[in-house]
């Protein structure tokens, strides 16, 4: 099998044309080859791979990747190479979400591994220190040990010098502003929080109008820093297509990033419904 290759320029040309044509960009996570194949067939522009998506495919929550139960970068590289790349035609490009704070790996080597397998885009989400509340003891311990946003910013900057598309992501306004100003990513996603819904989602009680308002507040500040950045919305109350349409109607986002919404939750519903029908079958009465 030969995986179709693409380039930074081809990716950005396609995305910028969608922005010019006022068509929403869709980035979606895949934890398996089947999901990746279906996302591409449905028209996703970008399929992102990361350890959280792989764990979701195994029935765990996204945040399981924050614990030392796996080598996040190895998991991402292995299943991207073996499950995802062979499953797609190349209509969608792949973004590998990496752990830039991995103390055992040189990120130049990791980015070269991505390019070798045909992955020309990376993000700092897998996992990111931005997930962790800054007023927590664990945040202070982690940053003291060298796990910092600085490393994530440096990786995003490095990706651009290596002719890759950089996709930045931040959970807070402070982190978002730093990432866009210092890393100058091609694409940025303000992560509004863990997506609600399904068996493993987290519902903070936030409504979609609040998620949209917080996202747009970030957008306005980020575009002042980098007017040409492609801005994508993700998380919190953004669960359904109707929620996504609300975001598109009430923010200046260029598109949507889905994770659980097009991966975990649909699988939970479809498999349960089909299996329940089979499980409810009975022998005929004699």
Q: Are 114 and 78 in contact (CB under 8 A)?
A: no
Q: What single-letter DSSP state applies at residue 81?
A: I
Q: Are 211 and 236 in contact (CB under 8 A)?
A: yes
Per-residue pLDDT of the chain (286 residues; tens, 9 = 90+): 788 899 999 999 999 999 999 999 999 999 999 999 999 999 999 999 988 776 776 666 666 666 666 788 999 999 999 999 999 999 999 999 999 999 889 999 999 999 999 999 999 988 889 989 899 998 999 899 899 999 999 999 999 999 999 999 999 999 999 999 999 999 999 999 877 766 666 677 889 999 999 999 999 999 999 999 999 999 989 999 999 999 999 999 999 999 888 988 899 899 999 999 999 999 999 8
Q: What single-letter DSSP state applies at residue 212?
A: H
Task: Report the top-level CATH class of 8-279.
Answer: alpha beta
Burial of residue 56 (CB within 10 Å: 0-12, 13-18, 19+) is buried
Element (H, E) at 240: none
E strand spans, the chain: 25-29, 46-49, 93-97, 121-123, 165-170, 187-191, 230-234, 255-258
Average pLDDT value over all residues in the chain:
92
Backbone angles phi, psi at 175, to 5 degrees: -65, -40
């Amino acid at each position: 099998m030969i995986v179709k290759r693409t380039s930074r320029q081809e990716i950005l040309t396609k995305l910028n044309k969608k922005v010019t044509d006022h068509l929403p960009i869709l980035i979606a996570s895949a934890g398996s080859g089947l999901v990746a194949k279906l996302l591409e067939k449905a028209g996703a522009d970008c399929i992102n791979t990361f350890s959280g998506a792989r764990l979701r495919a195994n029935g765990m929550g996204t945040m399981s990747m924050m614990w030392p139960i796996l080598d996040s970068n190895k998991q991402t590289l292995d299943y991207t190479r073996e499950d995802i790349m062979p499953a797609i035609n190349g209509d969608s490009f792949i973004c590998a979400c990496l752990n830039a704070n991995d103390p055992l790996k040189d990120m130049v080597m990791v980015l070269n591994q991505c390019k070798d397998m045909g992955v020309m885009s990376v993000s700092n989400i897998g996992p990111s220190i931005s997930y962790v509340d800054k007023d927590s003891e664990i945040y202070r311990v982690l940053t003291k040990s060298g796990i910092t946003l600085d490393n994530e910013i440096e990786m995003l900057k490095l990706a651009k010098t290596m002719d890759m598309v950089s996709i930045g992501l931040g959970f807070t306004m402070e982190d978002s502003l730093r990432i866009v100003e210092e890393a100058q990513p091609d694409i940025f996603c303000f992560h509004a929080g863990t997506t609600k819904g399904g068996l493993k989602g987290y519902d903070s009680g936030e409504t979609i109008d609040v998620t949209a308002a917080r996202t747009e507040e970030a957008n306005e500040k980020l575009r002042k820093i980098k007017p040409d950045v492609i801005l994508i919305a993700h998380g919190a109350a953004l669960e359904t297509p109707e929620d996504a349409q609300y975001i598109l109607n009430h923010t200046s986002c260029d598109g949507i990033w889905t994770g659980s919404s097009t991966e975990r939750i649909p699988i939970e519903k479809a498999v349960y419904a089909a299996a329940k029908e089979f499980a409810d079958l009975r022998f005929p009465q004699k």
